[in-house]
Structure 1
Amino acid sequence: MRPFLKWPGGKRWLITNFKHIFPQKYNNYFEPFLGGGSAFFYLAPQHGMISDINVELINVYRVMARNPVQLRERLEAHQEQHSTEYYYDVREHIPADQVERAARFLYLNRTCFNGMYRVNQLGKFNVPIGTKQNFTDDVYRFEEYSQILQNTYIRAQDFVNTIRLANEGDLIFADPPYTIAHNQNSFIKYNEKLFSWKDQKRLLSALVKARSRGAIIIATNANYPALQHMYEENNFYTQPVSRFSSISGVNEGRGKQEELLVASFQIN
């Protein structure tokens, strides 16, 4: 199934072009940087844990799992009232009710500019309205999404706390936050704010430990020489892969970009 959220850095392109790298057999599934969940919904694992540090994002998944019908009804209500004025009014106010909050998040995700997720220094969502007018074409599938989520633990927590639970035969898909950099300076400038070098080292350490317990590792990252060297030095297999990027707001910034595929096994 396609994910119900559009997310910057989402991995729909990976599923489309490199689905063969995912093993057919594994025990539990662990995804510590959930985002839009492309890999999760492609695999539809029987058991596992998905997590993210974004509390609002995790609330959407929990509500989708537990209250898909109510979430559909609330999103359809947003559809009926959608306008520029309504969008900014919804963006300004965060409801206390979990279902209402999830519907707000999903509404803003589907109607904001280019599906971006950005908050200001006060933690308030501040992306302007986009051009999409109709955004409820998949609501009939919400109960299917709910069914896939039923046997999965959904947690708002640091990635290390998720990875440390993976054991022999479990599959970890780790897709940390990063942007595609055209040179080393821009990598440091942009990515240090998203996911610091210290976090990169914490992630590597957690994956090394999980591999030693027998977990299967698949990860993605920016195609940055120091990162590739760091993983290869710790006996991971790496491969630069290309994707089409449409995140940039200007045409000159769109086109094929390279990312780094990392695995605990030989990548074919």
Structure 2
Amino acid sequence: MTKTKPFLRWAGGKNWFTKYIEEFLPNEFNNYYEPFLGGGSIFFYLKSKGFIKNKSYLSDTNSELINTYRVIKSNTDDLIKLLKKQRDNEYQYYLIRSQNFDNPIEQAAKFIYLNKTSFNGIYRVNKDGKYNVPYGKRNLKNLYDFDHFYEISKMLEKTYLSTTDFKNRCKQIDINDFVFIDPPYTVAHENNGFVQYNQSIFTWKNQVQLSKIAQVLDYKNAHFLITNAYHQSIKDIYINGKQIPISRSSTIGGLGAKRTKYKELLITNIKNEN
């Protein structure tokens, strides 16, 4: 079966990890959870490949992102009607960026358009919560593959989408469920121990809370796979499960940015018998 690709460009996304994910999956699991959804690379891969057979609980603190997923799931035709009117040019970009919509379908169309045509697909807002990423000058003749949106909508069947905080979402995980956790890569003693995550701050305290959640999940006999920064402070607080370093090529950066290989850390309690 062909894998379904994400419909969004997402900084920090895990599309690169799909080539490795099958090595770390439990042999079977009940429901699937992903509390830092972002572009959803891992979810779409697992769902399209048939690994997710039951319900999926997908969440993220970015309410505009979750609204967009909900609209694609339930209002695909109406969304596509709006997307067909859009064009990739600087005038329309800043016009759409400046507009506010109360209608969730119009807001989703705006979110998708800005993600497609902005500089590097970055999601960034100012202190007033306004999206402020500049125009990307991509010169796209065909903005969208509309068949892809219908494919995405099908993948979102049997999913429950929410803006639930990761701590509350993880409380719902039960025995034999599987959770993929891709938090912001906060480490101790760097940038004062926090990073900007969507419109909220993900602190070192949150990272410690997440490590304790991993202990609870292990106690519940739930399966977890966590991606994180390869850093001693991370190694020290995650005491449950195996810690596996993995290298990949960095693809995030502006024009002329140096592409380097660096390590990330996988933390998992899954005992793969394959």
Task: Give me the TM-score of the superposition, normalised by structure 1.
Answer: 0.90
Q: How does 1:75-114 map to 2 (within 5 A)?
A: 75-79=83-87, 82-114=88-120
Q: Distance in 2 between matches of 1:266 and 1:220?
A: 17
2:71 maps to 63
**Structure 2: which amino acid aligns with 1:70?**
D
**Structure 2: which amino acid aligns with 1:214?**
N
1:237 maps to 242
Q: Is the contact made by 2:24 and 2:270 (CA closer than 8 Å) also made in structure 1?
A: no
Q: Distance in 2 between matches of 1:23 and 1:146?
A: 26
Q: Distance in 2 between matches of 1:190 and 1:246?
A: 25
Q: Is the contact made by 1:9 and 1:178 (CA closer than 8 Å) also made in structure 2?
A: no
2:137 maps to 131
Task: Describe the SS at the equivalent of 1:251.
Answer: coil
Match among 3, 7, 10 for residue 7 of structure 1: 10
**Structure 1: which amino acid aligns with 2:103?**
D
Task: Give me the TM-score of the superposition, normalised by structure 2.
Answer: 0.88
Distance 1:135 1:120, change over 3 A: farther
**Structure 2: which amino acid aligns with 1:130?**
G
Q: How does 1:61-210 map to 2 (within 5 A)?
A: 61-79=69-87, 82-132=88-138, 133-134=140-141, 136-178=143-185, 188-189=190-191, 192-194=194-196, 195-210=202-217
Instruction: Report whether the alignment pairs 1:218 with 2:220.
Output: no
Q: Is the contact made by 2:68 and 2:111 (CA closer than 8 Å) also made in structure 1?
A: yes
Aligned length: 259
5+ long unaligned stretches in structure 1? none
Distance 1:250 1:190, change over 3 A: farther
| Identical-residue share of aligned pairs (%) | 39
Instruction: Output one character per residue of 1:62-111: Cα deviation in whole Å (capped at 9) or x when no partner.
Output: 101101111222112113xx310110111111211000000100000011
Q: Distance in 1 between matches of 2:185 and 2:8?
A: 18
RMSD, aligned α-carbons = 2.0
Higher helix share: 1
5+ long unaligned stretches in structure 2? 197-201
Deviation at 1:121, TM superposition (A): 0.5
Deviation at 1:20, TM superposition (A): 2.1
